[in-house]
Structure 1
Amino acid sequence: MLGTLLAASAAAFLLALLSAVTGFGGGVLLLPVFTALFGLRVAVPVLTLAQLSSNGARAWLNRRELRWPLVGRFALGAAPFALFGALLLAHAPLAALKRLLGVFLLAVVAWRRLGRPPGRPGERSFVAVGAASGLGSALLGSVGPLTAPFFLAYGLTRAAYVGTEAAAALTLHLSKTAGYAVAGLLSREVLLLGAALTPATLAGAWLGRRIVDRISDRVFVGLVEVGLVAAALLFLAGR
């Protein structure tokens, strides 16, 4: 059990570091790791608890750059749909949804690289972004890559992007946690694992914030796009 916890903590640290630099990616990559270590039924709620601490830390470390109107709009859609998705977790077919998300992410990156990026979305559109993210995150564990193109298209980069995305994601993870509790998925094992992994996620978020300060906007956007492609391939390869 100690070896499993150490492996999970190491993965949580490295992927919290990745999330703190690119704004997403940790949850997508942690889910298969946690599933291998704990089984899917435990992995999804444990991942949510780990993301609560990771996103909370990123939002706090970048708090001066947050775009609160976007966070509020996002939360309006995310909270109810995340709660609904959490209650559906035990019954929904997920394979087709993962593949659809993978195709969407590849299309977005191709569109941006061809010099035809999507237009700047309005603040109201983030209600719909939040709703799709809340439902997908509750069912798939994490869909951070789904929100990235919209925050980038709005014009956010580096600290503003990372902090705003983290604060927005925090609202849906809180709703997911409530839904998992109602569904009886927050067992004693899940709560203990979530608490044990918190120090590693906080340390990764802190180190990642220092790295963001040292890279240019161009490098940052490039890293995010590489992460989008990697996440898309993982979704397409998953079962």
Structure 2
Amino acid sequence: MPGMEFGSWVPLALIGLAALLAAGMSFFSGFGLGTLLLPVFALFFPVPLAIAATAMVHLANNLFKFGLMQRHANWPLVWRFGLPAAGAALLGASLMVWLDALPVLARYTLVGMQMEITPIQFVIGALIVAFALLEFWPRFQHMSFAPRWMPLGGVLSGFLGGLSGNQGALRTAFLLKAGLSKEAFLATGIVAAVLVDLSRLLVYGLGPLSTHWAASDDWLAPVAVLCAFLGSFLGQRLLPKVTLDSVRVGVAALMLLIGLGLMVGLI
């Protein structure tokens, strides 16, 4: 929350644990770090800063995973999918900055406290809810697209990545049908994610979000980065052994609650 002291161990523990688990998950599913970490960051930061902080952790972790997996990447597919994604991420990030500058949508009183709903809270909350509901839809887990749709997939996932950080689920759906090995699928997705993160951080850092950074605490993002590194390292070791259906349902439930909280101004 704005103005809150971040020196306590509770925010550090929550974000560190979320980063550890989500980074480990991302080695099995191809996504998960931003999906889980953004709602947790949103508990302690203004929504635009939560998105930017998540992008920093996401980029650092993907660079770490790139070092572990880069030899497996399918580079022709990276250019067909990743370059359109990077360009669309610039547009999505610009839209997020624009939404952050809009006036408050509504104010109300709840148990004596003044609550407000901003456009950025509502839009990001709605996207988080949408992705949470998709996780509960069995067909979504098996959804994939023909290889000819790769550039379009890059545009869609990159735009959503720039706007809200929720890029991985669509990226996974499009890359699944590319005929890649498990290692090549993960490595190609990692490179595409790095391109998107670089694009959106360029917009976040140069725009009005820089004022949020000046007032923020310095510890949460570094703790999240270190825990994400550990999660990725452990995830690589466990890659052949783990299934995640129950974990995905739990994460989706958490996302649904936090997304609804954002939409109605409780977070």
Bin the TM-score by the shorter chain: 0.7 to 0.9
Residue 26 of structure 1 is matched in structure 2 by 33
The answer to whether 1:195 aligns with 2:222 is: yes
User: What TM-score do you get using the length of structure 1 for normalisation?
Assistant: 0.79
Residue 109 of structure 2 is matched in structure 1 by none
Residue 71 of structure 2 is matched in structure 1 by 64
Specify whether residues 7 and 211 from structure 1 end up closer, same or farther in structure 2 by C-alpha distance, changes over 3 A only.
same
- Give the Å deviation of 1:25: 1.2
Specify whether residues 207 and 41 from structure 1 end up closer, same or farther in structure 2 by C-alpha distance, changes over 3 A only.
same
Q: Secondary structure at the match of 2:147?
A: coil
Question: Conserved in 1, the CA contact under 8 Å of 2:92 and 2:163?
Answer: yes
Question: Conserved in 1, the CA contact under 8 Å of 2:132 and 2:252?
Answer: yes
Summarize deviations over 1:34-62 as a string: whole Å, max 9, x none. Answer: 11122313211000000001111222211
Specify whether residues 121 and 105 from structure 1 end up closer, same or farther in structure 2 by C-alpha distance, changes over 3 A only.
farther
- AA at the equivalent of 1:139: L
The answer to whether 1:128 aligns with 2:135 is: no
Among all aligned residue pairs of Structure 1 and Structure 2, give the percentage whose two residues are the same amino acid: 31
- Give the Å deviation of 1:32: 1.1
Question: Conserved in 2, the CA contact under 8 Å of 1:105 and 1:229?
Answer: no
In structure 2, what is the Cα distance between the partners aligned to 1:73 and 1:179?
Answer: 23
Q: Which has the larger displacement, 226-235 or 22-31?
A: 226-235
Question: Conserved in 1, the CA contact under 8 Å of 2:64 and 2:229?
Answer: yes
Specify whether residues 12 and 111 from structure 1 end up closer, same or farther in structure 2 by C-alpha distance, changes over 3 A only.
closer
User: What TM-score do you get using the length of structure 2 for normalisation?
Assistant: 0.72
Instruction: Name structure 1 gaps, 5 residues minimum.
Output: none
- AA at the equivalent of 2:198: L
Structure of greater Rg = 2
In structure 1, what is the Cα distance between the partners aligned to 2:175 and 2:146?
Answer: 9
Residue 180 of structure 2 is matched in structure 1 by 156
Specify whether residues 225 and 231 from structure 1 end up closer, same or farther in structure 2 by C-alpha distance, changes over 3 A only.
same
Residue 6 of structure 1 is matched in structure 2 by 13
Q: Which has the larger displacement, 225-234 or 142-151?
A: 225-234
- Give the Å deviation of 1:73: 1.5
Q: CA RMSD in A?
A: 3.1
Q: How many residues were matched structurally?
A: 227
In structure 2, what is the Cα distance between the partners aligned to 1:37 and 1:180?
Answer: 18
Residue 45 of structure 1 is matched in structure 2 by 52
Instruction: Name structure 2 gaps, 5 residues minimum.
Output: 1-6, 100-119
Question: Conserved in 1, the CA contact under 8 Å of 2:80 and 2:151?
Answer: yes
Specify whether residues 197 and 99 from structure 1 end up closer, same or farther in structure 2 by C-alpha distance, changes over 3 A only.
closer
Written as runs of structure 1 = structure 2, the 5 A alignment for 1:82-231 is 82-90=89-97, 91=99, 94=123, 97-98=127-128, 109-110=138-139, 118=144, 120-122=146-148, 125-186=149-210, 187-188=213-214, 189=216, 193-212=220-239, 214-215=240-241, 223=244, 227=248, 231=252
More helix by share: 1
- Give the Å deviation of 1:72: 1.2
In structure 2, what is the Cα distance between the partners aligned to 1:75 and 1:191?
Answer: 31
- Give the Å deviation of 1:226: 7.6
In structure 1, what is the Cα distance between the partners aligned to 2:145 and 2:246?
Answer: 17
Summarize deviations over 1:66-107 as a string: whole Å, max 9, x none. Answer: 111111112221122111211211416625555655666666
- AA at the equivalent of 1:167: V
